[in-house]
Amino acid sequence: MSDKLTDKYFARGKKFFGIKYPIISGAMTWVSDPNLVAAVSNSGGLGCLAGGNTPVDILEKQILETRELTDKPFAVNLITIAPLYRDHIELAIKLKLPYVIFAGGFPNKKEIQKVKDSGATVLCFASTESIAKRMISFGAEGIILEGSEAGGHVGHVSLTILLQQVLFHVKDVPIFVAGGLATGKMCAHLLLMGAAGVQLGTRFAVAEESIAHPNFKEKFIRSKARDAVSTPQFDSRLPVVAVRALRNKGIDEFGLLQLDLIKQLDEGTIRRQDAQMKVEEFWVGALRRAVIDGDMLSGSLMAGQSVGLINKIQPVKEIIDELVVDIEDELQRVKAELG
């Protein structure tokens, strides 16, 4: 019988995904390509392919390519606010994906059931207590509880509050925790609190296998936690999902875009849905300029506050192995401390 405490605390997440370690690599648009996703899955974690607003034929090629690179489970992340969202759902059903994660907004009950009927296990993100409860009532089989410390599209509630509101009370589905995570020591304590597993994004964004531009990775390594700021919403008529990214000219340009769109709404020269589309188009383009082209000035440097904990570029396997060792060490330390 193994004396590893990770055997006990990894058990629920391992069984849920059928993987070695319940460590999820967050789906990051432009970053989470087949190479990175496969590297995470091949290293024992769960890689997540970012659907974003990828053209359907390209996303299909990426899914098939990922299947060629790994025979291990991986998930595909579908963004509910993406213009191609409904087409992505049909693709997921067609390809009979094992795991689908809804993000960016909230799928309805019919959409969740439709994907489940294809044989997929469905997870949903939750950034508030009410969203978590609603997604479970809609049929979500797992929840990724994400605090506002995370990078990319985020909610407004910190992880410390969400843990007390959701993790401590929800027992009927596994809860995976995300937002501001970068160390095995912290992950160990979340497992002790009842998490079935953890999700990290920013740390994998600077992995050797990440397609991100060297300028992008170097910027992350040099940045502090306070550099990763969340964007504001200026007008309720233009509801924007907050985005956390490193402060640069791109953040300022997004503020100016919102003000211009609000002016157009005042003048009646743009419809609300078209204005929201402009917002999403901005982030898709700005993120590509940063990740692919290395534009650190006006590109979108989406990062969680965990960026302040990252100080080197490592291979994916080394990242996961280090996390697992540190989790075990901390669990053993706590056990000894409690006597």
**C-alpha 179: how far from its chain's center?**
8
Residues 63 and 137 in one domain: yes
Query: What pLDDT was estimated at residue 339?
Result: 86
Q: Is 100 helix (H, G, I), strand (E, B) or coil?
A: strand
Query: What pLDDT was estimated at residue 232?
Result: 85
The answer to whether the CB of 284 falls within 8 A of the CB of 29 is: yes
Q: What is the mean pLDDT of residues 39-64?
A: 96
Residues 166 and 287 in one domain: no
Residues 188 and 247 in one domain: no
Strands ordered across the beta sheet of 152-153: 152-153, 243-246, 228-230
Residues 241 and 253 in one domain: yes
Query: What pLDDT was estimated at residue 239?
Result: 82
Query: Could you tell me if residue 260 is inside a domain?
Result: yes
Range of the domain at 163: 5-212+306-333
The pLDDT of residue 133 is above 80: yes
Query: Could you tell me if residue 198 is inside a domain?
Result: yes
Least confident of 64-73, 109-118, 201-210, 232-241: 232-241
Residues 284 and 138 in one domain: no
Query: What pLDDT was estimated at residue 3?
Result: 85
The pLDDT of residue 127 is above 60: yes
Q: What is the mean pLDDT of residues 81-92?
A: 93
How many other C-beta atoms can be found within 10 angstroms of the C-beta atom of residue 65?
15
List the structure tokens of 338: 């409690």
Confidence of residue 72 (pLDDT cuts 50, 70, 90): very high
How many residues in the chain? 339
The pLDDT of residue 240 is above 90: no
Residues 199 and 263 in one domain: no
Query: What pLDDT was estimated at residue 65?
Result: 98
Residues 315 and 293 in one domain: no
CATH of residue 115: 3.20.20.70
d(CA 159, CA 77): 21
Q: pLDDT tens, 178-213?
A: 999 999 999 999 999 999 999 999 999 999 999 999
Query: What pLDDT was estimated at residue 181?
Result: 98
Residues 98 and 199 in one domain: yes
The answer to whether the CB of 53 falls within 8 A of the CB of 280 is: yes
The pLDDT of residue 83 is above 90: no
Number of domains the chain contains: 2
Tokens 């901390």 sit on residue:
330
Residues 141 and 15 in one domain: yes
The answer to whether the CB of 113 falls within 8 A of the CB of 96 is: no
Could you tell me what percent of the chain has a pLDDT over 90? 88
Query: Could you tell me if residue 39 is inside a domain?
Result: yes
Query: Could you tell me if residue 217 is inside a domain?
Result: no
Query: Could you tell me if residue 97 is inside a domain?
Result: yes
**C-alpha 138: how far from its chain's center?**
21
Query: Could you tell me if residue 338 is inside a domain?
Result: no
Query: What pLDDT was estimated at residue 252?
Result: 92
More confident residue, 104 or 57: 57
Query: What pLDDT was estimated at residue 2?
Result: 67
The pLDDT of residue 248 is above 80: yes
The answer to whether the CB of 61 falls within 8 A of the CB of 83 is: no
The answer to whether the CB of 38 falls within 8 A of the CB of 47 is: yes
Query: What pLDDT was estimated at residue 82?
Result: 84
Least confident of 60-64, 279-283, 294-298: 279-283
Nearest to residue 244, comparing CAs of 331, 305, 195, 190?
305
Query: Could you tell me if residue 313 is inside a domain?
Result: yes
Q: Is 4 helix (H, G, I), strand (E, B) or coil?
A: coil
The answer to whether the CB of 203 falls within 8 A of the CB of 278 is: no
The pLDDT of residue 141 is above 60: yes
List the structure tokens of 122: 């469905």
More confident residue, 87 or 276: 87
Query: Could you tell me if residue 221 is inside a domain?
Result: no
The answer to whether the CB of 44 falls within 8 A of the CB of 24 is: no
Sign of CA dihedral 102, 108, 113, 114: negative
Query: What pLDDT was estimated at residue 283?
Result: 86
Residues 292 and 160 in one domain: no
The pLDDT of residue 324 is above 70: yes
Q: pLDDT tens, 16-40?
A: 999 999 999 999 999 999 999 999 9
Residues 241 and 165 in one domain: no
Query: What pLDDT was estimated at residue 277?
Result: 83
Residues 39 and 130 in one domain: yes
d(CA 223, CA 281): 26
The pLDDT of residue 51 is above 80: yes
Mean pLDDT estimate for the chain: 95
The pLDDT of residue 145 is above 90: yes
Confidence of residue 279 (pLDDT cuts 50, 70, 90): confident
Q: 100 has which bridge partners?
A: 76, 122
The answer to whether the CB of 92 falls within 8 A of the CB of 115 is: yes
- Residue 143 zone, left/alpha/beta (φ > 0; ψ -120 to 50; rest): beta
